[in-house]
Structure 1
Amino acid sequence: MIDIYHNMLWPKYKGAVFSEAFSHARQLGRSVRFSHVVPTDGGRTAMSNVDASYHKYPHRVLFDLPYEAIPRWKLCLRLVQEVWCSPADIVVMPGYHLIEYWAMLLACMMRRKRRAVFCDATAMDQPSNPIKHRLKVFFFRHCDGVFVYGQRGYAYAVSLGAEPSRVFDRCQAAALPHGYRPEHAEKRRLELAPSPSSPRFLFVGRISEKKGVKDLLRAFALVLREHPLATLVLAGPCDDRQSLDRLAGELGVTAATEFPGPMAIDKLAAEYCRATCLVLPSHSEAWGLVVNEALSYGCPAVVSDHCGCIPELVLEGETGLTFPVHDIQALAGTLGRAVRIFSDVEATARRCLEVIGEFTPAVAGRTIVDGCITILEEARC
């Protein structure tokens, strides 16, 4: 039996991936159990409620409270109990950055259970800390497998002591509307894409400092000099709307900037189709799932060089462009280049859809199950 734990039920993409993992395991005659620690947390509830329609697999939720409402000792105790009593041959832990996940690791070691961990980070994701580095090395070296996203995730796990042959690229995949079809997305993109004379730049996600939104506003002010009819759309919950409104006013971009707030998945699909490009200027971004979403609608992406998905998804000049993080002048110049380079909407859309076609929930789900089976088979040798 494979025992897979995840921190919360909320993410749609996890539901899509775990649904495919369950289906694949069943086809192989393997038993798999999915457990989410909580339904959601306070930050996610500001964006949307849990959408159960994406979770088409049997699962448990261990606590019916937001994550931050549960005392650490309760989390540790429950997760240790779960691991200790689990009939599974392998336990897949949600991460390594919280004390409760360390408790799970120790319980696995004491029970001599095979264990793996989900790693959602890269070397560029967070500033290095010597003490944390040593702790991560201990954790990874005591795991039988590590599931990562892409080349940067793989390199990071290996740098922390993980055995290269036991690092599995589980593939990151977006949850799209249930009726999504690539051919329909391409057609809609061709119908709605803006003209180069009226470019439309789209940011999707939590509107916060670490996402580089203030950098984007400052860069957009420079872009408006060359493209006075341009529009910037900042879609998502905002941590400090007053501060951003004030900055937009100081920069003179208020009239050209839209704050639609969190958007339902179908409405967001339309925004991707209407955008010249997605812009993700994050200071720290382990992957960048919104890039998957954008490419699924034929929309290229402009991202900072700290985004983990670059080697796989952002093919320079084909599906997107990159710029040095924090460099406002470079971001402005890159946005201007995007208007010119991606003016052939049809060719760009087809290339985006071609690249993203390999990053599906089915591929991601199979990778998790197959990785667990590989770990178990190697243990028997």
Structure 2
Amino acid sequence: MRILIVHNILWAHYKSSVFQALQQRIDQQPKASLMVLQIARNERSRAGLETATDSSTPTYSYRYELLFDRFIEDVPLRERALALLGRVQAHRPTVILLTGYYDPAQLLLLLWAKAMGIRVIMQNESTAADQQRGGWKEQFKRWILQRCDGFFCFGNQSANYLLKLGVQADKILLRKNAVDNHALRRAYEKALVSRTEQQQLLGLRASNFVFVGRLIPVKNLPALVTAFADALQKTQHSANWGLVLLGDGPDADTLAKQISALGLANAVKLLPGRPWHQVPNILALSNVLVLPSLSEPWGLVVNEAMACGLPVVVSDRCGCVPDLVLPNQTGFVFDPAQPEQLTRHMLAFMNNEIDISRMSRAAQERIAPYAPEAVAQEMLAGFMKVSN
């Protein structure tokens, strides 16, 4: 069994941890091999994060080829398609994993592989809720999906979307998404030692809600700031709680103006984005993660926070919700169209109505099966099932 994975960008660290775990398992299989074709080094929106590394940056080992040492936006379709076809012909795989159905170059590769008798598994992260669905695009997706032999999905919402498009249930081979739980937890515990000192250094309050991600409209951050402001006015513990927005993006100036207009300069802090392995340094200064997105295929920051033991408050538009967010156990779910729900959940934490320690333990227990090792094992089982 010769496995070939086509992946978009080398920078995607969370995939690298899974690829390493998969490589370790495949090395134990007789007559099995793995190669990952990384199309490009990174994407422009994350360019600043790829260079912000140091001696503490985790490294991962697996067999891969980098086709283009530049941003993926700078690789034309023709060049991408020819490179992929050439490398696939050279590796002669028995099964190929494609990143998704949105890349025309990979769709061409799918059709070529099927003509050559090569099995194809398609990765899917989309859900029915993350965009408006319908029309000829959905019919075209059905046609594409009918030509695949199996699917790796980012959770149950992603799988359910494929089922609605006519995919057979036994072709859903994986329903999970993972980050490097162990590396994140180690960094978090190390940072936790100096929590109070770092809070004082950054001007943070003793307890904090935290958002981690790009500062873009779909993240719904103005609503988060407003909900937090409303909660502050309704609690007797307003001096104890703050809000941290960790990230960069085009909404930064708008958010800064909103924070100033609401008189929240001492309570809400905008901190610049940082590489993933340094995010636990900020999670260690926080108590609860909030992800208020209007649309989110999964929401890996929820994995990251739960691996560090943080309860989460997550919009019901995020794909990870049915899998990870158990109401009153690992956190809370709210409708972003009803911001008063978010205010109510934040107030429950502020007013000490929630046993955060209990939620922290439940979060860590819930996220444990969503680890690279577990995902890699299910991927290998899927590859074997399709190949046989």
Q: Is TM (by shorter chain) over 0.5?
A: yes
- Distance of 2:374 and 2:251 partners within structure 1: 38
| Number of the residue aligned with 2:45 | 43
The alignment partner of 2:4 has SS state of: strand
CA offset at residue 218 of structure 1? Answer: 1.6
- Report SS of the residue matched to 2:209: strand
Distance of aligned partners of 1:373 and 1:189 in 2 relative to their CA distance in 1, 3 Å threshold:
farther
Range with bigger deviation, 177-186 or 61-70: 177-186
* CA gap 1:179/1:121 in 2 versus in 1, 3 angstroms: closer
Shift of 1:70: 1.3
Structure 1 residues without counterparts, runs of 5 or longer: none
Secondary structure in 2 matching 1:263: coil
**SS in structure 1 at match of 2:343:** helix
Q: State which of 337, 358, 362 in structure 2 corresponds to 1:326.
A: 337
Aligned length: 375
User: One-letter code of the match for 2:328?
Assistant: G
Q: Find the residue that maps to 2:110 and give its secondary structure.
A: helix
Query: SS at 1:7's partner residue?
Result: strand
CA deviation profile, 1:102-159 (whole Å, cap 9, x unmatched): 1111211222211011111111111113121111111111100110022111111111
Does the 8 A contact of 1:84 with 1:107 survive in 2?
Answer: no
Residue 353 of structure 1 deviates from its aligned partner by 1.3
Q: Which residue of the partner structure matches residue 125 of structure 2?
A: 120
Q: Does residue 211 of the first structure (1) align with residue 219 of the second (2)? A: yes
- Quote the residue 1:279 is aligned against: 290
Query: Any idea what the Cα deviations from partners look like across 1:244-266, whole Å, max 9, x if unmatched?
Result: 21222233323321111112445
CA distance in 1, matches of 2:140, 2:59: 35
CA distance in structure 1 between the aligned counterparts of 2:121 and 2:178, rounded to whole angstroms: 20
Matched, 1:106 2:111: yes
Q: What is the Cα deviation at residue 81 of structure 1?
A: 2.7
Alpha-carbon shift at residue 228 of structure 1 (Å): 4.6
Within 2, Cα distance between the matches of 1:270 and 1:191?
Answer: 12
Deviates more, 1:12-21 or 1:347-356: 347-356
- Residues 1:353 and 1:191: Cα distance change in structure 2 (over 3 Å): farther
The one-letter amino acid of 2:266's match is A
Q: Which runs of 5+ in 2 are unaligned?
A: 200-204
Deviates more, 1:247-256 or 1:126-135: 247-256
For residues 179-208 of structure 1, what are the alpha-carbon distances to aligned partners after superposition, in whole Å with 9 as ceiling and x for unaligned? 84599589869999x9xx954110001111
RMSD across aligned positions (CA)? 2.6
SS at match of 2:49: coil
Which residue does the alignment assign to 1:225?
233
For residues 34 and 266 of structure 1, the distance between their equivalents in structure 2, rounded to whole angstroms, comes to 23
Q: Which residue of 2 aligns with 1:311?
A: 322
Distance 1:183 1:229, change over 3 A: closer
Match of 2:386 in 1: 375
Residues 180 and 144 (structure 1), Cα distance of their counterparts in 2 relative to 1, 3 Å cut: same
- Measured in 2, the distance between the counterparts of 1:206 and 1:310 equals 20
* 1: CA distance, partners of 2:62 / 2:217: 36
TM-score if structure 1 supplies the norm length? 0.91
Per the TM alignment, residue 283 of structure 1 is displaced from its structure 2 partner at its CA by 0.9
Identical counterparts, % of pairs? 27
Between 368-377 and 104-113, the greater mean CA deviation after superposition: 104-113
Identify the range of structure 1 (356-365 vs 342-351) with the bigger mean alpha-carbon deviation: 342-351
Alpha-carbon deviation of 1:304? 0.3
Q: State the match for 2:156 in structure 1.
A: 151
Q: Does 1:246 align with 2:254?
A: no
- Of 354, 366, 369 in structure 2, the residue corresponding to residue 355 of structure 1 is 366
Distance in 1 (CA, whole Å) between partners of 2:372 and 2:196 is: 27
Which aligned pairs between 1:234-273 and structure 2 lie closer than 5 A? 234-273=245-284
More divergent stretch after superposition (138-147 vs 106-115): 106-115
| Cα separation, 2, equivalents of 1:45 and 1:217 | 27
User: What residue identity is the alignment partner of 2:139?
Assistant: R
CA distance in 2, matches of 1:221, 1:241: 18
For residue 89 of structure 1, the aligned residue among 90, 94, 114 is 94
- Give the CA deviation at 1:240: 2.9
Distance 1:117 1:185 in 2: 38
CA distance in 2, matches of 1:82, 1:326: 47
Cα deviation digits, residues 78-115 of structure 1 (max 9, x gap): 22333344411111111111211211112112222110
Pairs within 5 Å for 1:150-229:
150-176=155-181, 178=183, 180-181=185-186, 184=189, 199-226=207-234, 227-229=238-240
Change (3 A) 1:342 1:4: farther
The one-letter code matched in structure 1 to 2:19 is F
Contact 2:6 2:99 in 1 (8 A): yes
Query: Structure 2 CA distance, aligned partners of 1:291 and 1:277?
Result: 10
Letter in 2 for 1:372: F
- Find the counterpart in structure 2 of residue 26 from structure 1: 27
Q: Is the 8 A contact 2:16 2:60 kept in 1?
A: yes
TM-score of the two chains, using structure 2 as the length reference: 0.89
Asked whether the 8 Å contact 1:13–1:174 carries over to 2, the reply is yes
Residues 144 and 50 (structure 1), Cα distance of their counterparts in 2 relative to 1, 3 Å cut: farther
More moved, 280-289 vs 123-132: 123-132
